Structure 1
């Protein structure tokens, strides 16, 4: 296994954001007397918010448009992340290790640009990510491989030499469809799901760093 680049997903991998997303979604849909539960988290983790909300808007026959739902949810989410969002354990150490080893790093995420910018600026991570591909930069979201194909091409590394770090089954599917190696880090809400499609499964980024140290 020759690793020449590492591509991070953002939510649930780079930042410990899944509980914040859950709270924002739960609060939003409570306004419509709908219960957003962990079942929905498992169903939609890794998908673009517009795609998730289009399905829920239709399923629940909600009166507001998908765009309006996303706007309201973004307002809730922004108010929450200001005080609660944290880097995932081991994230900074892994990024510093990869930089020291001169391994190219990219970000391939379903997140929108405003949120990516918030994370990069909040935690001072811009220097680690010369290539960033978000939801605004692709036509098709995960599990389609476009986001990882585009990130890999921008890094100038062949797919089979790229490792993708993912927490979502849709992301694992996207990475494998892009012909890349995939290391899964299941989240607190999804750890009981079947991640057998990933090449390896790790409990956190600390374990990922320890493993990569043997390969790079």
Structure 2
């Protein structure tokens, strides 16, 4: 794989979202949300995914608690979501097409890499260890570690500081609108990534991102 020069000109660090960007996992969460709300006799609202996109794990738990009047404490809600997702993240979530070869090429080129995710620290650590890619990343951060989730730039600014890279020398890979906006709000270049779960937003993602790929194989 040879990195396309026009995309990587001047790039010192590449920052990735996790779910839907590096791994094929977004399909899990609709099932978890439906099952979790079902325990309280609540049907899954049609607008739920749209309302929580970009939120940190903690912000999402707070949203659920307030909107659905969930009696559990925030930390207990998060712990239950981790338990519900654990087996799927252990056994059913693959890397997206071309990711491993892409990470290897970035490493060979001396480009530092980080993860900036809205998921929980526990699930991130689990899945990147299971998939054998943890070693590629010099920074792994979650939106729970900053003041606001995406589209706020906070998480991308934090990872860039970890990597010692100026915003103008960072390239972000993201699969959702709020994530693309977070990268742009941080002053970074952004490559939108196709994901089946956000297919409805493909046109807008192309418009808001600097670049767009359907697969990492396109960067070969």
- 8 Å CA contact 1:20–1:84 kept in 2: the answer is no
Question: Could you tell me how far apart the structure 1 residues matched to 2:65 and 2:144 are?
Answer: 21
1:63 matched residue in structure 2: 71
TM-score (norm 2): 0.86
SS in 1 for 2:72: coil
Note the 1:57-206 alignment, pairs <5 A.
57-193=65-201, 194-195=204-205, 196-206=207-217
The answer to whether the aligner puts 1:23 opposite 2:31 as a matched pair is yes
Match of 1:43 among 19, 43, 51: 51
| 3-state SS of 1:133 partner | strand
The answer as to whether partners of 1:8 and 1:106 remain within 8 angstroms in 2 is yes
Structure 1 segments unaligned to the other structure (5+ residues): 211-216
Q: Which moved more, 1:192-201 or 1:12-21?
A: 192-201
Which deviates further from its counterpart, 181-190 or 55-64? 55-64
Aligned residues: 209
Give yes or no for contact 2:58–2:144 (8 Å, CA) kept in 1: no
Match of 2:5 in 1: none
Q: Take 1:22 and 1:50, find their aligned partners in 2: how far apart are those partners?
A: 17
SS of equivalent to 1:41: helix
* Distance (Å, rounded) in 2 between the aligned partners of 1:132 and 1:74: 18
2:4 equivalent in structure 1:
none
How far apart are residue 77 of structure 1 and its match? 0.9
Question: Structure 2, unaligned stretches of length 5 or more?
Answer: 1-8
Is the CA contact (8 Å cut-off) linking 1:105 and 1:128 kept in structure 2? yes
1:72-111 Cα offsets, whole Å, 9 max, x none, are 2221111332221111111111101111222111111122
Distance 2:217 2:48 in 1: 28
**Residues of 2 paired with 1:183 and 1:49: CA distance?**
23
Contact in 2 for aligned 1:41/1:189 (Cα 8 Å)? no
Deviation (angstroms), 1:181: 0.3
Cα offset, 1:164, TM superposition: 0.3
SS of the equivalent of 1:189 reads helix
